[in-house]
Structures are given as C-alpha cells and as structure tokens.
Amino acid sequence: MKNKNTLLTAALLAGAGLISLQSAQAAEGLQHVTASAKSDYAKTKYPILFTHGMFGFTRVGFDSFGMDYFYQILPDLARNGANAFAAQVSPLESTEVRGEQLLQQVLEIRAITGAPKVNLIGHSHGGPTIRYVAGVRPDVVASLTSIAGPHKGSPVADLVLKAEGTAAEAPLAGAVNLFSKAITWAQGLNPDSYPHDALAGGKSLTLAGAAQFNAKFPLGMPASACTDGKLLDQGVYSYSFAGAGTVTNLLDPDSALKLTSLLIDGGKDNDGLVSRCSAKFGKTVRDDYNWNHLDEVNQVLGLKALFAPDPVDVYRQHASRLKLQGL
C-alpha cells in the first residue's frame, strides 16, 4: 500500500481530471495494468513493457486514483487483450544505468508471466534505454519500439550541459536531482532506492554521448543519416514513430516546447525536443504526427491538436501490428 506521501500527491492531482485504473504492483516501481478484456485486438504473444523518458514515472498518485506517464494508453491495451506493464527507472541517470534497471524488470516479467521474451516500448530517453537491454540481452527481447527517442542526441541537452564546469553546475545539478527524487517520492517510492544523476542523464542525450552509445549498441540504428534502420536484427524487431509538432493545443501547457524547438534545426521537423532524424530507428511507422514531445504519450491529460490522431488509438494499432508479426 502506498504511503502518506502518495495520498497527499493524489489529493493535489484530484482536480486535474484524473482517471481510476485497475493495476497491480508486481514489485516496487513495476506496474502491471489489468482490465476486463473486451477484445483480443492487442493481444500480443509476448508481454509489453513501457519505459518512460527523462523526468518520467509510472504513475503519480496511487493505484485507484492517479495519473500515468503513458496517459490512458496501458488500460486501453489491457481492455484489448494486451498484457501490459510499465517500468520505473531513475528519472535522471545515464542510459546504461537506466538500462540495467530496466533489464531487471524484464527478467522479473519473464518470471511472473513465463514468457521468454518481452516487447519493449520506450518514449524519449526510454528509447535508448530499451536499446541497451536488447544490446546486452537480445535473447529476452522480442521487439523494440522507440517513440521520439533522441538516438542521435538532442541540441537541447548540449545547451543545458554548457553549465558543466561553471559556478552554476553544482546548484543546478543539485536542484534537478532533488526534483528527480521528488518524482520518485510522488509515486510512493523511496527516492533513495534509485540513483539520481542529472549530469550523467544529460550527457547521455548530447550529440557526443549519443554517438558513443550508438557505437556500443548499433542494433536497429540507421546506416546513414535520417533513414530507416533494420526491421529485424539479431532476432529483434525494431520500430519507431514520432511527432513533428510543437504548439498543438493552446490550452496545453506543453506549448512551451515551441521555445526549445527553435534550438533544433532552426525550429523545423522536431517535436520540441527531438528532431525527426534523431528519432529514426528500425522501421519508421510514421514520423510526422502532429504531436509534440508530450502529445506522444497523450500528455498533458490527453490534450492534443483538434484533428491529430489519438495517441491511444495509435498505440493500440501498433500492438496489433506486433501481434500480426507474431510478437
């Protein structure tokens, strides 16, 4: 049962239109979302494990009343037959540290379900994180799906890291690490049970940091700039999709991403944090949705452009794609 901290967080979030969900905590941080299935449309052969990006979480609030990072997406998949989980890794850490944390949860899901493999889906920094697992244990991964993963890095990270070595480094890193701990606390988890390293997380997403990671873990990466990678590599299927919008709904606070978008390719072809070319990985399902970086996970609270595809529908359709692929 979650502690008093979680109850306080949930009370603060109650006015934001949050939904009630059925879920079970398989272990600290690992969320298993269940629901009465109304169809088998999204019933994949292997379980699906979602991984959040930087500053991410599984759910803030508590089991019966809270807000998921992948807002309304996992419950919909469960209602359509999927065995859906959400991983909790450090909100701020290097790709390798987050990847090791994720690997342990993959192994736990194998033990819980008896499935030999898992379908991994990662948003933002979750994209490189799931790639790490496939890089060290391809035998336990059926597929990788990256949503707006900064696989070639992001200029936004390079700009932020300019504070390194200056007088601003220590207070800035300390404040950001404290925020990372607060995110963990808001989920009813012990902040000290996860490492928090803002500098390591930021360096992983710089252009140079991404290049170093890609040299170690090339699976699914394109051979040339802004093209698709291999669909099937080392027995692992790889897919990606991304948005290319910034201000998609004036009522949505994530419209502030318009400012960061100007740092990337002159404000063209990016979702506010990641460029279309950087998001390329495996087979591209689509990379021009009218979504910004938060719309891609149906945030904030489902607000999006009026005629943009519903992210919940897109994830359901992708689960069906995995099912038809025998995954």
pLDDT of 6 > 90? The answer is no
pLDDT of 174 > 80? The answer is yes
**pLDDT-derived band of residue 2, with 50, 70 and 90 as boundaries?**
very low
Rounded Cα gap, residues 250 and 272, in angstroms: 15
Which residues touch 167 (CB under 8 Å, ≥6 apart)? none
pLDDT of 18 > 90? The answer is no
Q: Side-chain half-sphere of 80: how many Cα atoms within 13 Å? A: 19
- Mean pLDDT (the chain) is 90
Residue 267 backbone class (left: φ over 0; alpha: ψ -120 to 50; beta: rest): left
Counting Cβ atoms within 10 Å, is residue 102 exposed (0-12), middle (13-18) or buried (19+)?
buried
62-114 pLDDT, tens digit per residue, is: 666 678 999 999 999 999 999 999 999 999 999 999 999 999 999 999 999 99
pLDDT at residue number 251: 86
The crossing angle, in degrees rounded to 10, of helices 95-113 and 126-136 is: 70
Rounded Cα gap, residues 227 and 312, in angstroms: 26
Report yes or no: 283 and 231 within 8 Å, Cβ to Cβ.
yes
Which stretch of DSSP H or E encloses residue 111?
helix 95-113
Fold of 4-324: Rossmann fold (3.40.50)
Report yes or no: 238 and 281 within 8 Å, Cβ to Cβ.
yes
Rounded Cα gap, residues 95 and 128, in angstroms: 6
Positions annotated as catalytic residues are 124, 271, 293
Comparing 61-70, 105-114, 150-159, 311-320, which segment has the lowest mean pLDDT?
61-70
Every domain of the chain and the residues it spans: 4-324
256-297 pLDDT, tens digit per residue, is: 999 999 999 888 999 999 999 999 999 999 999 999 999 999
| 175 three-state secondary structure | helix
206-258 pLDDT, tens digit per residue, is: 999 999 999 999 999 999 999 999 999 999 999 999 999 999 988 888 889 99
The token duo for 254 is: 């994530």
pLDDT at residue number 97: 97
The DSSP annotation for 121-151 comes to EEETTHHHHHHHHHHH-GGGEEEEEEES--T
pLDDT of 299 > 90? The answer is yes
Q: What's the pTM? A: 0.90
Structure-model confidence comparison of residues 163 and 315, the more confident one: 315
pLDDT of 61 > 90? The answer is no
pLDDT at residue number 238: 98
Residue 190's DSSP bridge partners are: none
Which stretch of DSSP H or E encloses residue 5?
helix 4-13
Phi, psi of 69 (to 5 degrees): -60, -50
pLDDT at residue number 27: 54
| 236-243 vs 232-233, strand pairing mode | antiparallel
pLDDT of 26 > 70? The answer is no
Rounded Cα gap, residues 216 and 221, in angstroms: 11
Q: Which residue has the tokens 């290319």?
A: 244
Report yes or no: 87 and 49 within 8 Å, Cβ to Cβ.
yes
- CA dihedral for 20, 21, 24, 29, sign (positive or negative): negative
Rounded Cα gap, residues 75 and 33, in angstroms: 6
pLDDT of 303 > 90? The answer is yes
Which stretch of DSSP H or E encloses residue 260?
helix 257-261
pLDDT at residue number 64: 65
Average pLDDT over residues 139-149: 98
Rounded Cα gap, residues 251 and 299, in angstroms: 12
183-203 pLDDT, tens digit per residue, is: 999 998 999 999 999 999 999
E strand residue ranges, 28-157: 30-33, 48-51, 59-62, 65-68, 84-87, 118-123, 141-147
pLDDT of 321 > 50? The answer is yes
